[in-house]
Amino acid sequence: MKIAGIIAEYNPFHSGHAYHIAETKRRSGAEGVICVMSGPFVQRGEPALLDKYVRAEQAVRGGADLVLELPPEYATASAEGFARGGIALLSACGCVSCLSFGAETDDLAGLSEAARCLAEDETLTLAAKGYMKEGASYAKAFGRAMEERDPALAELIRQPNNMLAVEYLKALRAQQSGKISPLVVKRCGAAYHDTETPAGGENHPSAAAIRKAVLSADRSSLPETMKAALSPEAMMPLLMAKLRTLRYTGADLTAYEDVSPDLAARILAAVPYTESWEAFCGRIVTRNLTLARVRRALTHILLEIRDGSSHLAPSYLKVLALREGSPAVSAIAQNAALPRITKAADDRQDLAASSRFAQDLYRQMVFARCGIALPDDYRKSPVILREDG
């Protein structure tokens, strides 16, 4: 039995994601697809547009067979931590033989060579770290360092999805996941950062375009599943309360993931200015502190994600949604190396505490912004899609 794995955010799930799942099954011959999906907060350092159970159900209806939650310590990490956590969870399933990921290219050999260079070339790594100290983002820093070594590979990793693809391949190498072979599916449709919805055919809109359309729409006109949509602005009341408390108590912000002494000082200095999320982040950003880094750091503070959390090995598999009778569901039941959690009441060892905390904060934001009370993890079971549903 062949089972494929996908690591994703589905923020939100759209036609391009359904295409990716279908292509994965077609090209790999897999009988099932297991998706590891970000929970309430995503890698951009902000809340997901929609609740994790809504997005997981959309994924199963779009072709996935089983959706597992990527815990917040990995879901909100850099590309390296995001990939490392996702690969570790797929490996722990014990039944995944293929990792499928989207990229701007189908040049697997080139992506694999870039991953090898990043993993083994110390000169390249040192050069990239130097560029990051000058203010370059992770992707741009490695791109510049690679330019000096191999211009063709540098051009390859400039696109966001290509850099993430390289991180997946690097994580496969590092974790010696030899039983999992990579499969790259070239993206089609709108570009990653496009915020306009393309017209018809295979011009799949980007997630950014969908988020923009949903958040700018009249909420009363939205489908029920979209009425609880969140923007990053929803974080501000909880975040400012947390930061004011930490500022008052003199807490050390560098104890949180991604928070350097310089960043900690800038965050605390900006606390009195409680403007919008965008303006607040803008007060903190410098040439050496990118917007992505700032957003992730603030999210880590809010979620109590401590330094080094994304380097720890996952300890559980949290099931969000599944297709009843799928071979993937039975395969993971027979082969998983970690305990499976279907609802919080079953988590006797409190393994998924960080996930529950993140979901609690997300529920509070939804209620405060939208007046909708989402069920908590203690009362919510996985979404099960049956043949008649």
User: Has residue 17 been placed in a domain?
Assistant: yes
Q: Out of 108, 136, 158, pick the residue that ends a domain.
A: 158
Residue 379 inside a domain? The answer is yes
Please check whether residue 363 lies inside any domain of the structure. no
Residue 106 sits in the same domain as residue 17:
yes
Structure-block tokens of residue 62: 């779009």
Number of domains in the chain: 3
Last residue of one domain, picked from the residues 143, 158, 173: 158
Same domain (yes/no): 66, 97: yes
Domain boundary among 269, 290, 307: 307
Please indicate, yes or no, if residue 206 is contained in any of the structural domains: no
Q: Which of 320, 381, 258 is nearest to 9 (CA)?
A: 320
Whether residues 148 and 163 fall in one domain = no
- What's the confidence (pLDDT) of residue 190? 53
Say if residue 253 is in the same domain as residue 282. Answer: yes
* Backbone CA torsion sign across 63, 68, 72, 75: negative
The answer to whether the predicted template modeling score (pTM) of the entire model surpasses 0.85 is: yes
Write a three-state SS string for 245-312.
HHHHHCCCHHHECCCCHHHHHHHHHHCCCCCCHHHHHHHHCCCCCCHHHHHHHHHHHHCCCECCHHHC
What's the pLDDT at 222?
86
Give residue 126's domain range: 121-158
Q: Say whether both 347 and 249 belong to one domain.
A: no
Mean pLDDT of 305-326: 95
145 and 19, same structural domain? no
pLDDT tens-digit readout, 136-193: 777 788 888 998 888 888 888 887 789 999 999 999 999 876 689 999 999 875 555 5
Question: For the domain that residue 110 is a member of, what is the CATH number?
Answer: 3.40.50.620
pLDDT tens digits, 44-78: 999 999 999 999 999 999 999 999 999 999 999 99
Looking at the structure, tell me whether residues 168 and 273 fall in a common domain: no
pLDDT in tens, 82-120: 999 999 999 999 999 999 999 999 999 999 999 998 888
End-to-end CA distance of the chain: 25
Largest CA distance in the chain: 58
Q: Which tokens hold the place of 119?
A: 């993993």
Domain co-membership, 111 together with 136: no
Q: Are residues 23 and 68 in the same domain?
A: yes
Tokens representing residue 67 in the block: 């959706």
